[in-house]
Structure 1
Amino acid sequence: MRRRYITAILTLTCFSFSGYPQTKKRPNIIIILADDMGYSDIGCFGSEIQTPNLDDLARNGLKMTNFYNASRCCPSRASLLTGLFQHQAGVGDMMNTRPQSAYQGYLNNNCVTIAEALKRAGYNAFMTGKWHVGQAPEHWPLKRGFDRYYGLIDGAASYFGLYPYRPNQKLTIALGDKPVTPGENYYSTNAYTDYAIKFIEESEPSGKPFFLYLAYQAPHWPLHALPEDIARYRGEYKEGWDKLREARFKKMKQLGILDKNCELSPRDKQVSDWESLSQEEKESWEEKMAVYAAMIDRMDQNIGRIKSKLKELGEDQNTVIIFLSDNGGSNESIRGNGFLPDIIEAAKKPASDPASFTSYGFAGANLSNTPFRLFKHWEYEGGTATPFIAWAPSVIKKGNVSSQPAHIIDIMPTCLDLAGAKYPKAYKGNTIKPTEGLSLIPLFNGKEWKGHDALYFEHEGNKAVRHGDWKIVSEFPENKWRLYNLKADRSELVDLSDKHKAKVKELASLYESWAKRAEVIPFEELNSNRGDKFQN
């Protein structure tokens, strides 16, 4: 440890950067990404789920209440890793191979990942967990700047082992650049953390700071949790979704996550009145939610393991941890949609059965996304708003809360700013597109941050623009702009488009200019001549 400290000081004597004082060595950087987790699903953002480790990071760091992702797994991961909008990075939709460069289904050569950029600045770069931005081996993490990798290449899988869930699908868990088969007592959330800790420990003798991208699979379906974790949530959801949404909503206001004037969106139209359910139906949903809560609980436990290891190594005071989710809660169900017959049968089993393969559907997602409406895939707040926590003892003031709008594209420049690294104009002979993000370091330091003039969103024809307190949203295939004032109406309940037509026109013009620059192809045009090969 002492040798690492001396090495860092010697190499940084004349090195300064805005995130840390000149006398400090460069920080380790850890990005933790949850999968399909809703805005209100952790304790410090309103949940009844026990997340003491995340709550502690928030209490001693920064919470951002208007932070946004790209509303879907692949697009968000592409934007996070590159600091570009997903289309610019080659993942304009999902991991589908299409001839259009913005929709090729894997990261292109005109972007760099955070790992590639930080390695040039002398960092070790590690990743564990879900990749999902390139299925072919030539696009795996080690080919995009990471030194070590263990995790799931694909979008979803059993937490207890490896088996496909769609026809003609090959799921891959990899160590480095080789597929591996999980052993006994495998549970993916634990395994990703095991390897993350192993990589951190083995990097110590190098004297280099490290970057770790820990992309948990949890709590994406299938609902799989360990019995001891499920037991803590038995009976927690017996009051039903309506009362639980109200309880979360009340807590969110008490915590300052929501403004006092915010209203709770109505129960989703796809969700029945709780009291109209049979006892069997109620018990089935209660069990699903107990398993879902247990998955997040176990993720939090593993984040605690990471914190403990940093403290053991004497690196806790010199590490930055960023936590967020890749999209809102998912309403997706396990029926039809190309699932294998045995998977559809497994979806009928109780969620606590390790052989099950199920999801929590509209009702669970409606609770997860409290107080918002709609879900993953759409560009309403329910699809794009994420809880965001940043913790850095040497930089961030305790208990800081920011309501300024920011976006997942901002993580790349923030990491470079922390590391004193430069964003490259060229890499491996390829011209690199300029980053779209802005460093969050001024917010970390409690200073004024100008922020973005506007934030933009598009996924499979759903689109939005946020400009100050105003937001326009369009839902595919309706393709009609609706207008909301988020300061007065964060839950997007009152459409003001007829009342403020000039504002709609102004923001729609911003969208068209951005869409052209960001290489967005209208979804109806993209689908009229697909020419793609579905991969996941």
Structure 2
Amino acid sequence: MKKYLAGTLIILSVLGFSLRESTAQSNKKPNIIIILVDDLGWGDVGYHGGNIPTPNIDRLAKQGVELNRFYTAAVCSPTRAGLLTGRYPDRFGLRKTVIPPWSDFGVSTDEVFLPEMLKAAGYKNRAILGKWHLGHVSLKYHPLNRGFTHFYGHLNGAIDYFTHKREGELDWHNDFNSSYDVGYSTDLIADEAIKNIRSYHKESPFFLYIAFNAPHGPLQAKEDDLKRFGYDATKPSFPNGGKEGDEGRGNTKQQTYAAMVSNLDANIGRILKTLNDLKIDQNTIVLFQSDNGYAPNEAGSSGILRGSKFTQWEGGVRAPAIIRWPQVFKGGWKSEQVTGFVDVFPTILAAADVMEKPKNPLDGINVLPVLKQKQSFINRNLFLGDGVLVNRNWKILEKLDQNSGMKLKSDVLFQIDRDVSEKNDVKDQYTSTYQLLKKDLAPFNAIKATAEVANFDVGKKGFVAPKEWKVEK
């Protein structure tokens, strides 16, 4: 009898430990991985009917929630800033263009970045891997002074994929130091992500912001990837007009772009496999998104959407996006919730159970209730900049002087839930809705910043890049 009782106690003890361990796992804060890709168009992914095979991204879409109405800014620096602050980039002067190499602009240090908030919530390791593009002339703008504990990648955009140079100088860094790592930048970023995941998961929950520069120009691919799309080394490469990025050009832009996207997809697959191998995928949030639509004249596709990068047509601001968190919400469905880049900040904070309130009012909203299917949708207007507002049913585009990329003759209104390709202006049919949206737009158009990034070419003439893009002041 005593042996029986002793055995029973051992079994109960083991079961109790297992239950406590299971409970601890379910109560543990999630790991957070944001995979931001650069200039990937709506029609460049397989799950949107694209011609380039993207099996790993497609698999993620099947496993997670497809965010069918996810919006960004029309160019990349504003999207990155809004994602990391939860605020419209208009509030700190970064809506109309990116931060070019010759600019001294940086996102105001009055803005609180996402990793700063996650630090207080127990996220010891908070890394940015890849493209920064939010200020590079002063240490106060450096990622390691904006809440990140590790930086591996480049400060500027449009670097050479092989030499890692911009304006003739090496722009590849490991924390504050220059990195002389050799390799294709997409591969190196994924390598570092995998290395960090394997190291970080042993401690507290981690935050990785993986900002691939692919498939942004210059169009460059590895020869092995090019060969899978018919590359013939005996034929000439497409001309690039003497721009940076001479190595890795295929026979055509289309071939090179396809090889770049395919390589990007494979590297995303490597990262996801690492999560699965380490058995941490169930409680890891993975958000995948592009920063804007495809760049014109660089072989991408907006699919069924109108327009491209630099415009507020859907093809410029409606990005492929997926979120997966198996432990908390089921996947395999498509959300029509209007959401976007400024919602990442509050949604991630809610998922990480961060109780502290950011000091600046947020423009983004927490969309977790919709993702958990506890709420069917959240009514909201989302400001897309330059006199453009979108909600569940409607999208208004005002004719503004600064809206030259849109080439509008007058205001237009689309019933966007039924007219995704923006073919039919219904302003005259729905005059009351049009007037109401005009009124809703007014306070957004009135947003003024104390400082604004200058036009892209200001300061370019005569500019000489600093040695290895060292940030010292």
Question: Do both share a fold (TM > 0.5)?
Answer: yes
The structure-2 alpha-carbon separation of the partners of 1:474 and 1:233, relative to structure 1 and needing over 3 Å to count, comes to: farther
Report what 2:197 is aligned to. Answer: 200
Give per-residue Cα distances to partners, 1:228-264, cap 9 Å, x unaligned: 21222229xxxxxxxxxxxxxxxxxxxxxxxxxxxxx
* SS of alignment partner, residue 275 of structure 2: helix
What is the CA distance between 1:107 and its match in structure 2?
1.8
Equivalent residue for 2:242? Answer: none
Which residue is equivalent to 1:435? Answer: 362
| Deviation larger for 52-61 or 77-86 | 52-61
| CA distance 1:96–1:385, change in 2 (3 Å) | closer
Counterpart position of 2:165: 163
Is 1:372 the equivalent of 2:310? no
1:314 CA drift (Å):
2.4
1:65 aligns with 2:68: yes
**How many angstroms apart in 2 are the aligned matches of 1:285 and 1:488?**
39
The 2-side partners of 1:118 and 1:393 are apart by 21
- Name whichever of 393-402 and 217-226 sits farther off: 393-402
- One of 389, 395, 399 as aligned partner of 1:471: 395
Which deviates more from structure 2 when the two are superposed, residues 409-418 or residues 441-450?
Answer: 441-450
**Could you list the per-position Cα deviations for residues 29-79 of structure 1 after superposition, in whole angstroms to 9, with x for gaps in the alignment?**
100011001012111121122222111111111001111111111000001
Residue 424 of structure 2 is aligned to residue 494 of structure 1: yes
Q: What residue number does 1:191 align with?
A: 188
Write the distance in 1 (CA, Å) between the matches of 2:64 and 2:392.
25
Segments of 5+ residues of structure 2 without an aligned counterpart are 1-16, 232-248, 466-473
Query: Percent of aligned positions with the same letter in both sequences?
Result: 33
Mean alpha-carbon deviation: is it higher for 398-407 or for 377-386?
Answer: 398-407
Q: CA RMSD in A?
A: 3.0
Q: 1:286 to 1:180 in 2, by over 3 A?
A: closer
- The alignment covers a number of residue pairs equal to 416
In the TM superposition, what whole-angstrom CA distance separates every residue of 1:333-369 from its partner, at most 9, and x where no partner exists? xxxxxxxxxxxxxxxxxxxxxxxxxxx2xxx34xx10
One-letter amino acid of the counterpart of residue 456, structure 1: F
Q: Say whether the 8 Å CA contact 2:292–2:319 is kept in structure 1.
A: yes
Q: Whole-Å Cα distance in 2 between the matches of residues 314 and 468 of structure 1? A: 37
**Partner of residue 125, structure 1:** 126
Equivalent residue, structure 2, for 1:512: 442
Q: Verify: 1:292 aligned to 2:257, yes or no.
A: yes
**Deviations, residues 382-438 of structure 1 (Å, cap 9, x unaligned):** 11011111111112213111112111111111111111113534xxxxxx3111111
Amino acid in structure 2 at the alignment position of 1:386: A
8 Å Cα contact 2:77-2:94 kept in structure 1: yes
Q: Aligned equivalents of 2:187 and 2:214: distance in 1? A: 11
- For residues 271-290 of structure 1, the aligned pairs below 5 Å read 287-290=252-255
CA distance in 2, matches of 1:398, 1:457: 28
Q: How far has the Cα of 1:171 moved from its partner? A: 5.8
Is 1:406 the counterpart of 2:339 in the alignment? yes
**Per-residue Cα deviation, 1:508-530 (whole angstroms, up to 9, x for no partner):** 221111232x4369x9xx989x9
Residues 112-137 of structure 1: per-residue CA shift (max 9 Å, x gap): 11111111111021110111011224
TM-score between both structures, scaled by the size of structure 1:
0.72
Q: Is the 8 A contact 2:397 2:413 kept in 1?
A: yes
Report matched runs for 1:141-156 at 5 Å. 141-156=143-158
TM-score using structure 2 length = 0.81
- 1:312-337 Cα shifts (integer Å, max 9, x gaps): 322122211010100001115xxxxx
Matches within 5 A, 1:41-440: 41-96=44-99, 105-123=105-123, 124-138=125-139, 139-165=141-167, 172-183=171-182, 186-205=183-202, 207-234=203-230, 287-331=252-296, 360=298, 364-365=299-300, 368-425=301-358, 432-440=359-367
AA matched with 1:375: S
Aligned counterpart, 2:8: none
CA distance in structure 2 between the aligned counterparts of 1:401 and 1:45, rounded to whole angstroms: 12
Return the letter of the residue paired with 1:421. V
Question: Which residue of structure 1 aligns with residue 415 of structure 2?
Answer: 485
Amino acid of the structure 1 residue aligned with 2:293:
G
1:170-196 deviations in whole A, cap 9, x for unaligned? 56221102233343xx10000011111
Give the Cα separation in 1 of the matches to 2:30 and 2:133: 27
Q: Distance in 1 between matches of 2:411 and 2:346?
A: 31
Gaps of at least 5 residues in structure 1 are 1-5, 14-21, 98-102, 236-283, 333-359, 426-431
Structure 2 counterpart of 1:512, one-letter code: A
Mapped to 1, the partners of 2:146 and 2:80 lie a distance apart of: 13
Q: Does 1:503 align with 2:429?
A: no
Is the radius of gyration larger for structure 1 or structure 2? 2
| CA displacement at 1:90 relative to structure 2 | 4.4
